[in-house]
Amino acid sequence: MNTSGTVDDLINRALDTAQQGGAGYVDVRVVERETESLTVKNGALQEAGAHLSAGFGIRALVDGAWGFSGSARLEPGEVERVAREAVAIARASALAQRDRIQLDDSPPVVASYSTPYVEDPFAVPLDEKLRILMEADAAMARVPGVNVRSSSMEFAREEKIFASSDGARIEQDLLEVGAGIETSAANDSEVQRRSFPQSAGGQHVTGGFEAIRALRLADHGEQLAEEAVALLTAPQCPSGRMTVIIGSSQLALQVHESCGHPIELDRVLGMEASFAGTSFLTLDKLDRLQYGSPIVNIDADATVPGGLGTFGFDDEGVPAQNVPIVEAGRFVGYLTSRETAPLIGRRSMGSSRASNWNVIPLIRMTNVNLRPGAAGTLEDLIADTKDGIYMASNLSWSIDDRRLNFQFGTEIGWLIKDGRLVQMVKNPTYTGITPEFWGSCDAICGESEWNLWGLPNCGKGEPMQTHRVGHGAAPARFRNVQVGVGQW
């Protein structure tokens, strides 16, 4: 992005115009986001996309109410018009607003941040990317009985400048990469799917192309396809209350839905009630509720290397932080913004994020991570389990508005007998109630099994903002869980 005097002049113009219009506080974000995607389906290039979006957004606080406006035209006259519009919207909102917004006392920062990476994905030739996807496709194609194969990659580069009337000025260059493979097999009555490294587009991280190479997609294609075919003739998952071991990518999604969303403080305060829903983690539960068993520890960590929710500063200029959410099973923290944190007597922990220049920042997850435990490897944990089921790779999910009652289905399950996986089963599901479920967690695998998963498609807000968040998890064991057969 051009960060010469011109952009500085436009930023100053925006801040001055809004302040002269009566804004008590104003911030500007100038954002350029470039994305590229590639999909190979059944041996042929199905889709190759590239997209560039650039513009700026101005947020003004007038009489305790927000106004926001943005534009793709970075020109002096347009910047002044948009600044006046943001002020006018704020003034109109103030008339209808009951409670005045008050920002916390987060100090303004002047700094810059770039995602560390080795290999720029936008500089890797298309041929090389296609070769990796085609090799993965060919590996899946070697297995008879597979009928749909898909391999995909996605890259994004985001360059943004944040400046505020408090004196903040922050430049950030973020780089995101993702890739995955998926295959399905079908007979007259059913379809069975397997995906790697996880479902819904694969694994996503902040970093460079080296992370895509490290996935070694082709090495996993054949086994994945064999499992999809084998699932067709596998017995159905049993029903009843059982011991369940949940694989790390599925557990990451469990953390996302049953912890990440209910700790968004705007949801808790009812600000997202009409669209995203509310939360069972109401203010009276903070520091009191036993969310899980004493081995359950969850952090919101925007600083962990490689996380899809890792950055230098949020979109209010607050530095990335690592804050405890669940400590020894007790619920101790929320995801907050400068506007909501003072309502619980705290300072923002830096999770206010906008998916692009043309929308306001909302409270979004960073990397909400389950800390590793003491149960060693997955093999150790299975060996320590007499009877149960191991479930892996998400297939379906549903959870109520308050994030309390849930059901998840996974692509594959394995029955465990006397410490060994003895039988593949299909269509497994498990259901639960959030604190009861986490309360039944009696073992979490260690560091060597812990993986930081990226979710590129978390939706929130109106207009909908699709955002990129991370979740670290290791496989874990839960006792007395309701298990059944999914219908899809």
Q: Which is nearer to Zn ion, 76 or 459 (CB)?
A: 459
Q: Exposed (0-12), middle (13-18) or buried (19+): which is 1, by Cβ within 10 Å?
A: middle
User: Cβ–Cβ contacts within 10 Å for residue 395, how many?
Assistant: 22
CB of 352 vs Zn ion, minimal distance in Å:
16
The three-class DSSP label of residue 51 is strand
Name which of 131, 142, 221 is nearest 183 in CA terms: 221
CB of 270 vs Zn ion, minimal distance in Å:
18
**Which string of b and e fits 232-249 if b means at least 16 CB within 10 Å?**
bebeebeeeebbbbbbbb
Q: Give the binding range for Zn ion (CB under 5 A) out of 44-52, 116-124, 418-426, 458-466.
A: 458-466
Look up tokens 């892996």; give the residue: 392
Q: Which is nearer to Zn ion, 58 or 399 (CB)?
A: 399
Q: Give the binding range for Zn ion (CB under 5 A) out of 144-152, 370-378, 403-411, 457-465.
A: 457-465
User: How far is residue 237's CA from residue 342's CA, in Å, rounded to a whole number?
Assistant: 48
Task: Give yes or no for a contact between 183 and 194, defined as CB atoms under 8 angstroms apart.
Answer: yes
Beta bridge mates, 390: 245, 414
User: How far is residue 483's CA from residue 475's CA, in Å, rounded to a whole number?
Assistant: 17
Q: Which is nearer to Zn ion, 83 or 268 (CB)?
A: 268
CB of 256 vs Zn ion, minimal distance in Å:
6
Q: Give the binding range for Zn ion (CB under 5 A) out of 152-160, 307-315, 321-329, 450-458.
A: 450-458
- Judged by CB under 5 A, the chain residues 186 through 245 that form the site for Zn ion are none
CA angle in degrees (0–180, nearest 5) for 326-375-481 = 65
Q: Which is nearer to Zn ion, 136 or 458 (CB)?
A: 458
Residue 458 in the binding site for Zn ion (CB under 5 A): yes
User: How far is residue 280's CA from residue 264's CA, in Å, rounded to a whole number?
Assistant: 11
Q: Give the binding range for Zn ion (CB under 5 A) out of 168-176, 302-310, 319-327, 452-460.
A: 452-460
Tokens of 216: 């070694």
- The interface mask with Zn ion, positions 120-159, x = CB under 5 A, is ----------------------------------------
Q: Give the binding range for Zn ion (CB under 5 A) out of 27-35, 63-71, 352-360, 456-464.
A: 456-464
User: Cβ–Cβ contacts within 10 Å for residue 433, how many?
Assistant: 15
Residue 399 in the binding site for Zn ion (CB under 5 A): no
The three-class DSSP label of residue 70 is strand
**By beta-carbon distance, which residue lies closest to Zn ion?**
458
Q: In 333-434, where do the E strands start and end?
A: 352-353, 362-363, 368-370, 387-399, 405-417, 420-425, 428-433
CB of 467 vs Zn ion, minimal distance in Å:
8
Q: Which is nearer to Zn ion, 151 or 258 (CB)?
A: 258
| Count of residues interacting with Zn ion (CB under 5 A) | 1
CB of 461 vs Zn ion, minimal distance in Å:
11
- The interface mask with Zn ion, positions 411-430, x = CB under 5 A, is --------------------
User: How far is residue 366's CA from residue 303's CA, in Å, rounded to a whole number?
Assistant: 9
Q: Which is nearer to Zn ion, 133 or 458 (CB)?
A: 458
Q: Which is nearer to Zn ion, 403 or 426 (CB)?
A: 403
Q: Which is nearer to Zn ion, 228 or 252 (CB)?
A: 252
What residues contact 98, with CB distance under 8 A and at least 6 apart?
none
Applying CB under 5 A, the residues found at the interface with Zn ion are 458
